[in-house]
Amino acid sequence: MSRVAGAGLSLPAKVALLALVTMAGLFGAVAALVGTPSGSRLVLLLAVFVLPSLITYGITRFLVGRLTHPVVGAYERLAAGDFAAELPTMTAGKDFLGLRTGFRAMAAALERTLAEVKRADQERRRLFADLAHELATPTTTLIGIAAALRADAGDRGRLLDHLEGESARLERLIADVRELAILEDPALAMLTEACDVGAIATAATERVRLAHPEITDVRCDAPATPATVDPVRVEQVLTNLLGNAVRHAGGGAIAVAVARRGADVIVRVEDGGPGVADHLLPELGRRLRRVDASRSRDTGGHGLGLAIVRAIAERHGGAVRFSRAALGGLAVEVRLPAGA
């Protein structure tokens, strides 16, 4: 059967045509053996040509109809959001195993993708709401300070101090939002190189001692710990964690530790502040999320520092874990693959 002859035929018609050609070949072979057909043989000839073709066409049409309509219905239910849709029972045999497996895999993948899109949309909405809330506080304060300065009301020096403080906080917020957006760009590559994470931690801790002499108990246990990481980003992790600890230590102790654990480098920072309730620990590290009034924006934070730490760790192929510290406050443990 040529491509031209069968190009516009349906599957049942092609099967019937195939049966017809087969029967014709068989009859031709029989006729060649028995000689010229008589009248009775003419009837037999018609029967051999017509009946098998009609029977084959009817059976094929019936089977294809029973199979395609339920399959199309299953795909339509899936397209409408029914991820529990299944192919019809007649496809349960081994001949259709690949079809059923592929259908289930596609349904599961679509369900996961839709759930991820919904979560991303909710996160986006929450982020914009939180960001608007964060921007509202310094903006309102700046407007009030400007009004007081215009009216020459209050202590001018104190108002200028407030102006400088609120402007600095707004600048930090904008810088951290920009930094987090950069870190969440899939195209961003970590500029990894062989370095000593222990030395980076020691230097960061020393800067805290010099900048905050009022905190008398700043501990650092960071032996030489070589790793292939992005040293600038690791320094940023320690700066953010130590800044968070300084804000919340409340004059208590701060402890920094770096150690090798298997194929990973562990950076741990603890503080002696009020800590975070255990059931709220999973909320930490989310963008603009503060979970405890005692660790609020009044201490200068806006909830992006830990989110940046988490983003840097994940871009290295690591992770962040939050727990209650032995010192009484928050403990943040950053795991980084030593050979990233």
Confidence band of 4 (pLDDT split at 50, 70, 90):
very low
Mean pLDDT throughout 111-115? Answer: 90
Q: What is the pLDDT of residues 14-69, one digit of tens each?
A: 666 766 776 666 666 566 545 545 555 566 666 666 766 777 777 777 767 777 88
The yes-or-no verdict on residue 274 having pLDDT over 90 is no
| pLDDT over threshold 90, residue 157 | no
Q: In sequence order, what are the residues at sequence separation of 6 or more whose Cβ sits closer than 8 angstroms to the Cβ of residue 230?
A: 190, 191, 192, 193, 312, 316
Q: Which residues of 221-255 are buried (b: 16+ CB within 10 A; e: fewer)?
A: ebeebebbbbbebbbbbbbbbbbbbbbbbeebbbb
Q: Which helix (H) or strand (E) holds 3?
A: none
The whole-number pLDDT of residue 299 equals: 43
Q: Is 80 exceeded by the pLDDT of residue 176?
A: no
Q: What is the pLDDT of residue 46?
A: 64
Domain 193-337 bears CATH identifier 3.30.565.10: yes
The per-residue pLDDT for range 296-312, each reduced to its tens digit, is 444 445 567 888 898 89
Stretch among 10-19, 263-272, 317-326 having the lowest mean pLDDT? 10-19
In which residue are the tokens 């309509």 written? 69
| Residue boundaries of the structural domains of the chain | 11-92, 193-337
